[in-house]
Amino acid sequence: MSASSYTLLADDVLTLDAAWTRYSPGAVGIEDARISYVGPPPAARTGTVVDLEGCVLLPGLVNVHTHTPMWLFRGLTEDVPRGEWLAGHMRPLEARVGPRELRAGALAGCLELLLGGVTTIADRYSGMGEIAGAVEESGLRAVVAHSLYDDGAERGLRESEALLERFGADPERSRVWVGLGPHATDTCGPQLLRQVAALAERSGARVFIHLAQSEAEVATVRAGGYTGCAAYLDSFGLLGPTVVVAHGTYLGDDEADLVGRRGTAVAHCPSSNAKLEGRVAPVARLRRAGAVIGLGTDAACCNNGMDLFAEMRTAGLLNKVAAGDPTALVAADLLRMVTSDAAATLGIAHLVGSLEIGKRADVIAVDQRGPHLQPWHDPVANLVYAARGSDVRAVFVDGQPLLLDRRPVRLDAERILAAGARAARPLAPVGVAR
Ligand SMILES: [Zn+2]
């Protein structure tokens, strides 16, 4: 028996494998960092037995678009007119905090994600050199990208190279690995995008970029002589399975078809898009055309939290409304968008996203005993439309327990929240009363 060997016992196990295999009751065995058993409760139980009675075991959730440090800004950018959010509200707030505050915010954000059953994030922000340390400390699996802009491009590229040297770009070798993060199609000109494409080619890193997230972005790109944001990216070879585009809120039909045809990965962030733009991305069209879609919560100040259960529900509701069709985007597809499909968008479907022998042991237990989750007739419907992040009782990443009985095992939640609150204090609005 190895030191980190566990048998998790639960009332229900949803493997999220291709066949939707389910065991009720069931068990997941863990040897070191990997899943060694999935099936009915075995007669011989190896290692430490963790009794998760009343729970369903799932693969850990994968959040494909986050900015953890923006935890600091929750509640400060409410009901802003379209087009004013970033330049008019976020940038002035960001100017008031430094790397120390952002690191404290990132760790608090990671704690929020962990408590909600998220085991993998795609995180991006400026100052990632500092923030990546907090993400690593949290124990989450993460691909981290330093945001690149024309403004300071050379410095940003050097920072990306330094991150690549520190963590590498291979998710098999490192729990934290590096992606390239050009900010958006209106803030990254042709020269920078050519440099990004070359660095991606050389390093094997995935590229993460915001795409068609505002009317101003589309107008800027069109003013440069391109038919649209997707065509602009495509002209640098930056659409395809190793590129993750976030939002796509303002993609026209032809552009959505192009993104899909290239097999591009899409981070769909429905609650952020609804709150900041009053829009829904053309998800049905993107999927039909061949895009791989995962759900992202975006930042805590966009929507105003990082709960993937809430995001599944929002994605389902908004896409049904957008289609004018209650059969659009079924619950099973939504659950895939935070597990197996989300893992595929990040190129790690061979490692995580389903409970299968040999995969990394990223496992969560969701307590199914709350009145809002009973009766347990349809686990998929309950998880998508009735569960909450706060129902998560246990989280394992790489076979290590990070959350047991809803308490963080390695992180000092009280200290992290106190440091986060301290870092956010100077941002507190003065004289606001409602
Ligand atoms: Zn974003």
Query: Beta partners for 9?
Result: 27, 51
**pLDDT over 80 (residue 433):** no
Q: Cα of 272 to ligand 1 centre, how many Å?
A: 9
Q: Cα of 341 to ligand 1 centre, how many Å?
A: 19
166: nearest Cα among 193, 120, 131: 131
- 249-288 pLDDT, tens per residue? 999 999 999 999 999 999 999 999 999 999 999 999 999 9
Q: Cα of 375 to ligand 1 centre, how many Å?
A: 37
Dihedral sign of CA atoms 192, 238, 120, 95 in order: positive
Q: Cα of 180 to ligand 1 centre, how many Å?
A: 14
51: nearest Cα among 34, 26, 75: 26
DSSP string, 109-155: HHHHHHHTTEEEEEEEETTHHHHHHHHHHHT-EEEEEEEE-STTHHH
**pLDDT over 70 (residue 118):** yes
Average pLDDT of 115-121? 98
1: confidence class by pLDDT, cuts 50, 70, 90:
very low
Residue 376 has a CB neighbour count (10 Å cut-off) of 14
Q: Cα of 64 to ligand 1 centre, how many Å?
A: 10
Rounded to the nearest 10°, the torsion over CA 138, 10, 305, 230 is: 90
Which two three-digit tokens encode residue 253? 């039909």
Q: Cα of 423 to ligand 1 centre, how many Å?
A: 21
Q: Cα of 411 to ligand 1 centre, how many Å?
A: 26
In order of 228, 280, 282, 283, 366, the CA distances from 253 in angstroms are: 11, 13, 8, 11, 38
Q: Cα of 368 to ligand 1 centre, how many Å?
A: 32
Average pLDDT of 313-340? 98
Beta-sheet pairing, 400-404 with 407-408: antiparallel
- Residue 309 and residue 118 in contact, taking contact as beta carbons nearer than 8 Å: no
- Backbone angle region of 240, left / alpha / beta, with phi > 0 → left and psi within -120 to 50 → alpha: left
Q: Which of the two residues, 384 and 86, has the higher pLDDT score?
A: 384
Confidence (pTM)? 0.97
**pLDDT over 70 (residue 15):** yes
SS3 44: coil
